[in-house]
Every structure is written in C-alpha cells, then in structure tokens.
Structure 1
Amino acid sequence: MLSELLKPLRLTGVFDSRWHVREPWAIEGDAEESCAILHYITQGHCWVTAEGRPPILLQTGDLAVFPMGTAHRLSDHPDRRGGVALGSVLPEREPGTSGQIRIEGSGPESRLLCAGLHYDASAATGLYQALPWALVLDRSQVDREPLLRDTLRLLAAVDRPVGPGDQLVTLRAFEMAFVLAMRPLLRELADNPSSLPVLRHPGVSKAMVIISTRFAEPWTIESLARQVGMSRSAFTATFRELVGEAPARHLAGRRMQEAARLLTETSLPQSAVPERVGYQSAVGFHLAFRKWFGMTPGEYRTKGLSSA
C-alpha cells in the first residue's frame, strides 16, 4: 500500500533556499498549503519545534521532511525566545526561484538547505494526508541511500551548476530527492504501523490497496466492503476515521488522479479516458472531472500541455 502512495504525487514547483545562521537565531515558518517542506542540515544543528509537538534535534547530515507543510519553528535552541518570521527574511517564495538567509550572531554557524515542494493538491490522497507531521532520516540513514545523499549535496552546493533548463532540472532533482527520502521513511512506517494507524487495520488497508491498484473496476461501497470482509456501515465509518475521508471520495480521487495523468502525460484520446479510470458513462466522467478540478477534461489537457 505504501509503495503506491507516492505514485500520483508529482511536484509542480520548488522554492529552495540556503541558510547561513550563527547563534543565537530562530525563524518562525508558516504553514504551506499543498507543499511538502524539506530541511537538510549541511553544517551544525537546529531544533524543530511546533505547537503541541515534542522538539526535534537535527544535526549535520540529517534530513527532515514535512509532508503537509505543517507550520514549525527552526532555532539553535528549543527554548530560544524571539526570532523572525520567515516571511520577513524571505518575503517572496515563488516556485522556481531560490533565496538565501543570513543571520550574523556571535556563536557557532549552521548551514541548511530548505525547500518548499509544491504539489497538486488533488494528488494528496487521504493516506498521504494521514502521514506523520514530520519524518526524519538521520545522517546514517541518508548515507545508506547514496543517490539521495549525493543529490542533496549537489542541491545544497553553493556552486550548483546552472544553465539552460535549470528550473526544470532543479524541480526534477528535488522530486527525486523527495521520493528517495520517502522510501526509507515509508519502510519505517511499515515496520512500525503504530505511526500510521490505517496500516494496523486489515480491512481498511486492503481496501486502500484495491482502490490504489484496481480503481478501474466497477466498485461500489457495498462490493468493496464485501471484498475486505466488513459490513457496509462498519467499513464506511472505520475508513473515514482512519483515512480522513469517505471511501467513495477516496476512490473518486484515485480515479481523478489517473485521469489527470492520462490527459497530461499520454496521447490517449480523451474519449478513451473514462473507461480507463472506471467510468462507464462519458457524461458521468465529464461531470465528475469538472467538479473535482474546476475545469473540463479538455481544458485540463490544454492547460497541462501549455505548461509542460
């Protein structure tokens, strides 16, 4: 199930920044909608704190990923008072651009690569949204993923190569780093299912796999419930509790994700898309697609081609 989680998620833009900060320092980050946040520590250390969460210490070589862009604070000490708002030192964080933060203090220096990884909100399934607010790979774990380690070091380099197509190359490099980071993190979740309760429920986790891989079949809530050995009412209630959305919406979302991919990444005729994603009626598909994305399939394809 976890291996399917990232398939529909594709980055649409990245803002990255390099931080050179000397103690004492603290920066208050904002919540970022439809944006994963990444912090890679290239020198020194920092503390991550957030309301109602235990503090997290990141040291040289550690990588932290915030899948939903949860608001948090970075500082040299978990009890550091004051600090500056991220918006005051980086007021414009447009995808496709880069920035730099310098804070001159009297203490030791820390250096970080930070990035906001924007993704299409429609691709963030209930399972993705159920991930822990912060996921951390320490230096030894990063080193066990040589491609991830080398990609992060290249992205963090002050003299990162630039040239034609640099914005696209940077986007895809961060996308690769994100997926490479999530793989070991998801393996950890599979080994410790208490971090993601849906993994502990055999019926709902099985339904998630079915929806992810067999979405084109003519499922109803009743047939899904029977397939996983649950009553309709118990299945619907438990699914909503563990996943955060109703099974019908989750199924519709998976079908819409695949429809969007077919429209923008393949030359499949538009008329063939409904059947490929589980709709028997072209009209029904058209109405569902427009409700989901706010535009028709044809408009979506045109928009996707023009931005490619």
Structure 2
Amino acid sequence: MDMVGTDRDDRHGGEHDDLLSELLQPLRLTGVFDSRWHVRAPWAIEGDAEQSCAVLHYIVEGGCWITAEDRTPLQLSAGDLIVFPTGTAHRLADRPDRQGVPLKAVLPERRPGTSGEIVIDGPGPQSRLLCAGLHYDISAATGLYTSLPWALVLDGAQVDREPLLRDTLSLLASPDRPVGPGDRLITLRAFEMALVLALRPLLRELADNPTSLPMLRHPGISRALVVIATRFAEAWTIDSLAREVGMSRSAFTAAFRALVGESPARHLTSRRMQEAARLLTETSIPQSAVPARVGYQSAVGFHLAFRKWFGVTPGEYRTGAERAA
C-alpha cells in the first residue's frame, strides 16, 4: 500500500516537474528597458499595466511598498525581488497609502534596449532599486503562464539560495555595469536568465499550493498540460486528449477552460504555433518541414492556422526575423 502511494506521488511530482520545466523554457525576450532608482522618502510612482511584458523590481537598498487595485499591499526590503509575470499595474512607494506620480512623467521614454534613471530627493530614508520591463513574444505566453499570480515575491533569503540569480541581479544593478560591444544583447539575455531563475523556485512553491495554481493539482488537467507541452506534434483531438487523461469530453473541456483560462484546442494551437515560430526563427530547417514537426498533416492547414495566429505567413515571419537579426 505504501509503495503504491509513493509511486503515485512520484509520478504526479514528475508530471509537475515536466510542466514547470516547459513553462521555464525562456520566454524569448524581444527587448528590455531597465532603470536604476535612487529615491528618498517621501516618494511614490504609479506604473501602468504593461502588455506582453513582465516587470521585475529588485531592492538593492532600503525598501518599498507595492500596492495594486484590490490587492493586499506588499512590503519589500533590501535583497527582495518581485516579478509581475503579466505586467499588472502597480504603485511603488515609501508608504502604502501615498499617492504617486505616473511613471511616464519621470521616465517618458522607455524604449526596449535602453536604460534610464530615476532620482528623487527627500528628507527621509534612501532606497535603491533595479527595475525592468521585459518584453516577450506574446505568442510564447501560454494559458499556464498568463494564469500565474499577479505578483511573485522572492525574499532576500530565497534570492541568496539562488546564487546565480543573486549574482546576475547584482551585476545588472551595478552602477558600473560593463558597457561594450554586444552590450544590448548581453543585457537582454542576462535579464532573460534572471526571469527564468526567479520563476524556478517560485513555481516549485506554487506547485505545492493548489490555491495559487490549482491546475497543477487537478490530475487530469495537469496531465493534459504536460501532454500538450511535450507531445504537441501528435494528431490530437479533444476526444483523444480527454481519453488520454481519463475524462469525458464535456468534463475535460469544462475543467480545462475553468482552470487554464482557455479551451484545450486553443492551448494546443498556441503550443504548436510557439514551436513553429521557434523553428522558423531559430533553425534553418526547410519551411516545408515545419507543419509535420508541429502536428499538422496538411501544409495548407498549417499555413492558414499560422497566418490567423500571427497575421503573417510562415515565410513572411521567417523573413522578418532574419531582417531583425
């Protein structure tokens, strides 16, 4: 009895690890705007919602409060890191009740690939922050990613347990960060690594907290997400997916939509399109070979689906990526 139970737990644990591994494959960042803040109380800055953009704040010195509409205020101290996976609007301030100035008033230009600085003088305690907007390809953001909590926090002790993350953040926050050839690309990849390194322990924690990410605790939906993430090239239908996870079609479709936030069909298409885009931009395989690699038996069907998803043909997508490189 004990061994059967252990095997079941190990199997589910493995599935969760597989799913989190898929989510942790880097959301390929398309650009980063980062800024260093040197502020003394009183201060408060209102950030807008950021579309297809993750936002992170690393507290280098001092501390701050994070507030958002209908959310419990969060207090951060030196060494803490907070990530907003989907760029939820929020305020940073020395006090949770202080009204702030819009971010665009102090940083009017925030083009990806550039950096900025905020300096606010006051009579109160000093704080220093590293802040960044991490723009990603929205096609790579699965329903699982967009269902993450509005904010994820790693306290200083948790950051210290991830030395590569800690050292990367320290380097990015340094006022004398190295500048030279390839700096823009290096900065982009460094922030991409920081995002993945930050999400890894946070998602492990979420996997043990069904109230935060309940889809990981639903055996059928969790299994379906792993199947879609890792076996997307197979000829799935909604019926065959439901049978694969031991559920009826109606129960499977309803539970999937409720927990993931989109239909199984759209989630499968999203994963296939994500892989198709990667193959077109990161490999040299012939365009004609892509449909079969992502689960389409018909080249015409793939072409139509791709154009509907991205607004351009596969050929145009590859050409655009080559021009941007």
Cα distance in 2, alignment partners of residues 7 and 50 from structure 1: 28
Which residue in 2 is equivalent to 1:12?
A: 30
Alignment of 1:172-191 (within 5 A): 172-191=189-208
Alignment TM-score, normalising by the size of structure 2 = 0.93
Distance 1:21 1:8 in 2: 32
Mapped partners of 2:263, 2:24: distance in 1? 20
**Worse-superposed segment, 192-201 or 147-156:** 192-201
Matched, 1:233 2:268: no
Residue 200 (structure 1) shift: 1.7
Q: 1:28 aligns with which of 15, 30, 46?
A: 46
Partner of 1:95: 112
1:38 equivalent in alignment to 2:56: yes
- Unaligned stretches of 5+ in structure 1? none
Preserved contact between residue 39 and residue 115 of structure 1 (Cα < 8 Å): yes
SS state at 2:240 partner? helix
Match of 1:195 in 2: 212
Provide the alpha-carbon RMSD of the alignment: 0.7
In structure 1, C-alpha distance between the alignment counterparts of 2:22 and 2:258, rounded to whole Å: 21
The 1-side partners of 2:303 and 2:56 are apart by: 36
**Deviant stretches of 4+, over 6 Å:** none
Q: Which residue identity is paired with 1:9?
A: L
Which of residues 31, 56, 59 in structure 1 aligns to 2:77? 59
Q: Residues 222 and 232 of structure 1 are in contact (CA less than 8 Å); yes or no, is this contact kept in structure 2?
A: yes
Counterpart amino acid of 1:86? L
**Alignment TM-score, normalising by the size of structure 1:** 0.99
Cα distance in 2, alignment partners of residues 104 and 83 from structure 1: 14
| 1:205 counterpart (217, 222, 229) | 222
2:281 to 264, 271, 275: 264
Which of 113, 137, 153 pairs up with 1:136? 153
Gaps (5+ residues) in structure 2? Answer: 1-18
- Equivalent runs, 1:104-183 vs 2, <5 Å: 104-183=121-200
How far apart are 1:249 and its partner, in Å? 0.4
Matched position secondary structure for 1:279 = coil
Give the whole-Å Cα distance in 2 for the aligned partners of 1:185 and 1:14.
22
1:251-301, Cα deviation, whole Å (9 max, x unpaired):
000000000000000111100000000000000000000000000000101
Instruction: Please report how far the alpha carbon of residue 7 of structure 1 lies from its aligned counterpart in structure 2 after TM superposition.
Output: 2.1
Q: Which moved more, 1:194-203 or 1:29-38?
A: 194-203
Note if contact 1:8-1:123 (Cα within 8 Å) is conserved in structure 2.
Answer: no
Q: Residue 27 of structure 2: SS of its match in structure 1?
A: coil
What is the percentage of aligned positions where both structures have the same residue? 79
User: Residue by residue, what CA displacement relative to the aligned partner does 1:211-236 show, whole Å, maximum 9, x if unpaired?
Assistant: 00000000000000011111111111
Task: State the alpha-carbon separation in 1 of the partners of residues 148 and 32 from structure 2.
Answer: 21
Local SS of the residue matching 2:35: strand
Residue equivalent to 1:77: 95
- 1:32 to partner: Cα distance: 0.1
Distance 2:254 2:207 in 1: 23
The residue type equivalent to 1:46 in the other structure is C
Residue 193 of structure 1 deviates from its aligned partner by 2.4
Contact map agreement 2:68 2:91 (CA 8 A) in 1:
yes
**Number of residue equivalences:** 307
Per the TM alignment, residue 8 of structure 1 is displaced from its structure 2 partner at its CA by 6.0
